[in-house]
Amino acid sequence: MSKAAQTAITPTRAEDYPEWYLQVVAAADLAENSPVRGCMVIKPWGYALWENCQRVLDGMFKATGHVNAYFPLFIPLRFLEKEAAHVEGFAKECAVVTHHRLEMREGKLVPAGELEEPLVVRPTSETIIGEMFAKWVQSYRDQPLLNNQWANVVRWEIRTRQFLRTAEFLWQEGHTAHATSAEAVEETMKMLGVYADFAEQWMAMPVIQGEKTAGERFPGAVSTYCIESMMQDKKALQAGTSHFLGQNFARASEIRFSDDKGALEYAWTTSWGVSTRLVGAMIMTHADDDGMVCPPRLAPAHVVILPVLQKPEHRERVLDYCHKLAAELRAQSFAGTPVRVELDQRDLRGGDKVWQWIKKGVPLRLEVGPRDIDQDSVFMGRRDRGPKDKGGIARTELVATIGTILQDMQDGMLARARAFQDANTRVIDDKAEFYAWFTPPPSAEGAPTPIHGGFALTHFSGDVELERKIKDDLSVTVRCIPLADGEAGTCPFTGKPSAKRVVWAKSY
């Protein structure tokens, strides 16, 4: 812990947000860089966060009729070539396998056995899944096909950051085929709603649901929809996408079926996905200058019990009490699962253990010593409050109210994040004001770069060249066209009519 700053993480968010983020990841023991450039090792605490996301989302997918499948990691190059817009969008990020064995030559292993056709390491699976759907769909009765897969993908990114953008990452990708356009559009919007519900109710992260502009659309899609959220540096993060693919991929893959009148039609398809970027989103939405703050509903552990074992003669009594307390808490439920409890019996200084768990972001810390046992109580610290803000609570009261306490923390985290987003969102109707909103004022030499801007809501005529110019000028893009109803107006940049306001922001 830094004595000067009195925070566990240095630099702080205000001093250097990008470096603060990396230090939070390290201090919480979430992940570390691997020997392979651009790839990371997800450590147990970080992977447990992802597993909890998987568990909840998988249940939500299955509740809406989807089933899991698995498709190959390697995609023949000719499959991508079938869909020109798609391959153009991903070409620069593709990793390609060209050989199938290694041989020792002059003391070094070198590739040998060139493949007849290169194989692309899965950047996304529309093309290979389309190949299979073409076999599975023969009649309108075979639809809808509602498939999802949990997998890894590879996109050869130049600039990487743990969880947010890595060469290899974990995700889920849903792929569906439908007999009508209306059914496919309904599916697209349904899954967008699932993502928004998960983000707000489980991640405690408020989001805006909206449609991407043509310039930000998924390659090959007819329409792309997304959820966007504001991080603590006021940048936007795209946390999930849902794509209406129309018949584009069906035509490329020959997914055809006989309709109820016997006519041959192309299927209507969708795809949608979220990734381990969700872990990065949780960090940047909730973490503070002392480390990670886990949303209770997704926390790997809800509670950590820290026995105070200063004298050997107290050890057996304190540990016996702690084991019984852990069992009582595990018998309670929160968010549909038993309360998850860690009992930390490691031979470490008490202060060191406390700070390790603070940095990991565990929601509740319970310190138990002989004096607490005499009063049948524990000393409780909540991660949504300061590290010194803790006090006694009777054991029976804690056990009876554990679910209420955790839900109160969950609700409070969502309310704080929503208040931050609202406070840093501005409705703008003037070009000069817009440019000033996203232009940081000069800072003194050696001082932190000021964080400026946030979300700007302006009318927009949809001009693609204008969108590119603003991106070049300010590194700001249209994050989405909100689904919520909006009033018509005038674009402040062109003076042309605008159907509704859009959300502009700098982004990850």
pLDDT tens digits for range 365-378 = 999 999 999 999 99
* Span 394-429, pLDDT tens digits: 999 999 999 999 999 999 999 999 999 999 999 999
> Do 199 and 254 have their domain in common?
yes
Q: Among residues 215, 255, 116, 139, which one has the least CA distance to residue 480? A: 215
pLDDT at 497 over 60: yes
> Do 252 and 328 have their domain in common?
no
Mean per-residue pLDDT for 145-170? 95
* Span 81-123, pLDDT tens digits: 887 777 777 788 999 999 999 999 999 999 999 999 999 999 9
Domain edge (last residue) among 349, 377, 412: 412
- Residue 461, domain extent: 425-505
* Span 320-365, pLDDT tens digits: 999 999 999 999 999 999 999 999 999 999 999 999 999 999 999 9
* Residues in CB range of 241: below 8 A, 6 or more apart: 212, 218, 224, 225, 226, 272, 273
In DSSP terms, 169 is beta-bridged to: 153
Is residue 47 included in any domain, yes or no? yes
For the question of whether the overall pTM of this predicted structure is more than 0.85, the answer is yes
Residue 101 backbone phi and psi in degrees, to 5: -160, 170
Q: How many domains does the chain have?
A: 3
Q: Among residues 408, 389, 404, 171, which one has the least CA distance to residue 295? A: 408
Q: Which residue carries 């698995």 as its tokens?
A: 70
> Do 327 and 472 have their domain in common?
no
> Do 400 and 474 have their domain in common?
no
Domain edge (last residue) among 261, 286, 311: 286
Is residue 32 included in any domain, yes or no? yes
CATH of residue 408: 3.40.50.800
> Do 455 and 499 have their domain in common?
yes
Is residue 392 included in any domain, yes or no? yes
Q: Among residues 30, 82, 85, 67, which one has the least CA distance to residue 299? A: 30
Q: Among residues 274, 273, 339, 333, which one has the least CA distance to residue 126? A: 273
Residue 401 exposed, middle or buried by CB count within 10 Å (0-12, 13-18, 19+): middle
> Do 436 and 406 have their domain in common?
no
Higher pLDDT, 256 or 310: 256
Q: Which secondary structure element, helix H or strand E, spans residue 272, and what is its range? A: strand 268-275
> Do 394 and 434 have their domain in common?
no
> Do 150 and 72 have their domain in common?
yes
